[in-house]
């Protein structure tokens, strides 16, 4: 098992990433992340337009737009 090892090397990370892509794990997770971010943006839209609200919206957008 890769996760049981004390040190995980780059080839092992690439192997796991390949498996996750093959079985749709990454797409599934991204879809759910986007749903949660959209809900979060709906909730914070009810608060006054402050710098804090804009920061929270920016964080939500950043998290779901990341590629790596």
The per-residue pLDDT for range 2-57, each reduced to its tens digit, is 767 778 889 888 998 999 999 999 999 999 999 999 999 999 999 999 999 999 99
- Residue 62: which pLDDT band, with cuts at 50, 70 and 90? very high
Contacts of 15 (CB under 8 A, 6+ apart): 2
């Amino acid at each position: 098992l890769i996760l049981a090892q004390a040190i995980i090397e780059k080839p092992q990370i690439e192997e796991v990433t390949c498996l996750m892509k093959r079985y749709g794990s990454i797409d599934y997770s991204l879809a759910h992340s986007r749903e949660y971010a959209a809900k979060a943006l709906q909730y914070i839209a009810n608060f006054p337009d402050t710098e804090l609200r804009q920061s929270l919206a920016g964080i939500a957008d950043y998290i779901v737009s990341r590629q790596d």
